[in-house]
Amino acid sequence: MMNMESKLLNVMEKGPSQKFVSTVLSFGLRSPLTRRHIVDALERATYKMSFKSLERPDKVKEERYYMGSALLRSIERAFESKSISPKCMKALTDILIGKIMVEGVYIRHTFKDKHGFSPPSFVTISPTNVCNLKCKGCYAGDIYQKHTLKYDVLDRVITDIKEQFGAYFFVISGGEPFAYRESEKTLLDIIEKHSDSFFMAYTNSTLITKDVSKRLGELGNFSPAISVEGFEAETDARRGEGTYKRIMEAMNNLQAEGVPFGISVTPTRDNADLLLSDEFLEFYFNKRGAIYGWYFQYMPIGRKPDFDLMVTPEQRYRMLNRIWSVVKEQKLFIGDFWNSGTASDGCMAAARGGGYFYIMWDGTITPCVFIPFKDKEYGNLYKIYENGETVVDAIKSPLFTHIRDWQDGYWVKQPQHRCGNLLTPCAIRDNSEAFYNIIGETGAIPTDAGAEDYLRMIEQGKMPEYNRQYRAYTDPLWEREYLRKGDSGKIA
């Protein structure tokens, strides 16, 4: 097994051959006789890689390892319960290793040599704002005109991102991704055409029929993150009566075809405790078979933003401790877009190395799904293409560059002992005054009325006070447990 571990570590550092991928991972993971040995070896290799990479406090490296370990064990459980078909597993391993860790590495190194910074690892695209539901507090904005990204533009930008950034992972959002229709093409057509990439979509799942699930199982390179609000009462209260039952039906359809799925939740002041309760986790992960969970704390942007829906600083701190307890002890892969900053190496916005950016249904380009502001010159994909420019020009825009400069000063280019607090990593949510200055310096343009409302929340002192209250919890913790002296690099 140590020989296998050394080979896997070599894979993670230098990239493997396709033959190694298909032989050891794709086939080996299918067999109960070899699966545990492979996962154990991958876990040990992940531990070593966590402590060899990045100039970060040791506890940050520990938590990166814990999250990686939880992902591996979640995949292992999915195989044991037959929740992932061999077709899906082969697509996942071929893309992860063959594309991202072989071809992608060369492209990313070439990009950095040419442009002086590393490219993003993925992109989130909302190809349509059309949705069959109208959920309370949806971040997608107060824009009720139907907008759908042209299919040829969607196809082109995915191709450009692969070729220029070496990124083969795409997150699809909305609107409702399965409501996308353009030039007689659907989301399934784009997934099929780009079979060398893996797609994950945030979806209400109500359009995932048996036929759709069968097609997804045949394609193999897709996983839906299904939105829930709790159990039936909570989900139907926000998403509409009958939605919960349709979600359960969609999960049944996906499981029948071996399509791996996760859940996506929006913690608010009213439901935060429920969404991390033992009952909730037991039901969705152990009974329903979700492999992963994404937690997006309510952000007061988009359609009718409500500051009072945000989790309180005290609730968020409890969530921080609870999530890491679940990840470490139960080995459930749960990521909180704000509370898992140590695992993601901080804010991922503005196309930083290892991060991402966002493309909307009308071609608008923003630094992040939760940053509803665009650069005044490079804020629209259609315009960029019409001018003979590329997505590279978009991520080199003043808005993106200013945010990356802030990231560099906060933690990215800081020595270990001066690393900024990654428990409060977000530019717009956790460092609102710094973000306000960036908007002013770059002249960035709000994408909707909700963005203007958010700026007023900063001007009125609501967000800065929220930031100060939460830092009263996390700054002492960061100083005490992350910037501690004499780190051994050992996990207790």
Q: What whole-number distance in Å separates Cα of residue 24 and Cα of residue 399?
A: 44
- Residues paired with residue 263 on neighbouring β-strands, in sequence order: 226, 293
What DSSP designation does 9 have? H
Q: Exposed, middle or buried, 314 (CB in 10 Å: 0-12/13-18/19+)?
A: exposed
CB 309 within 8 A of CB 298: yes
Residue matched to tokens 């992902």? 71
| Rounded-to-10 torsion of CA 388, 391, 397, 403 | 180
Cis preceding linkage at 175, omega within 30: yes
User: pTM of the predicted model, to two decimals?
Assistant: 0.92
Q: What whole-number distance in Å separates Cα of residue 127 and Cα of residue 176?
A: 9
Q: What whole-number distance in Å separates Cα of residue 32 and Cα of residue 41?
A: 15
Q: Which two tokens stand for residue 113?
A: 């040599």
End-to-end CA distance of the chain: 24
* Closest to 63 (Cα-Cα) out of 311, 346, 308: 346
Q: What whole-number distance in Å separates Cα of residue 124 and Cα of residue 198?
A: 12
What pLDDT shows up at residue 492? 35
Q: Tell me how many degrees the CA angle 43-44-48 measures, rounded to the nearest 5.
A: 115
Q: Exposed, middle or buried, 441 (CB in 10 Å: 0-12/13-18/19+)?
A: exposed
What pLDDT shows up at residue 120? 98
> Could you tell me which residues come within 8 angstroms of residue 23 by beta carbon, excluding any fewer than 6 positions away?
none
One pLDDT digit (tens) per residue for the chain, 492 residues: 555 556 555 655 555 455 455 456 666 777 778 888 888 888 888 888 888 767 899 999 999 999 999 999 998 888 888 889 888 988 888 888 778 877 788 899 999 999 999 999 999 999 999 998 877 656 554 555 789 999 999 999 999 999 999 999 999 999 999 999 999 999 999 999 999 999 999 999 999 999 999 999 999 999 999 999 999 999 999 888 999 999 999 999 999 999 999 999 999 999 999 999 999 999 999 999 999 999 999 999 987 899 999 999 999 999 999 999 999 999 999 999 999 999 999 999 999 999 999 999 999 999 999 999 999 999 999 999 999 999 999 999 999 999 999 999 999 999 999 999 999 999 999 999 999 999 999 999 999 999 999 999 999 999 999 999 999 999 999 999 999 844 444 433
CATH architecture of 103-484: Alpha-Beta Barrel (3.20)
What pLDDT shows up at residue 487? 44
CB 229 within 8 A of CB 138: no
φ and ψ of 224, to 5 deg: -90, 140
What pLDDT shows up at residue 209? 98
CB 29 within 8 A of CB 93: yes
Domain residue ranges of the chain, discontinuous segments joined by +: 2-102, 103-484
φ and ψ of 302, to 5 deg: 75, -145
What pLDDT shows up at residue 97? 73
What pLDDT shows up at residue 270? 93
Helix (H) or strand (E) holding 34: helix 32-52
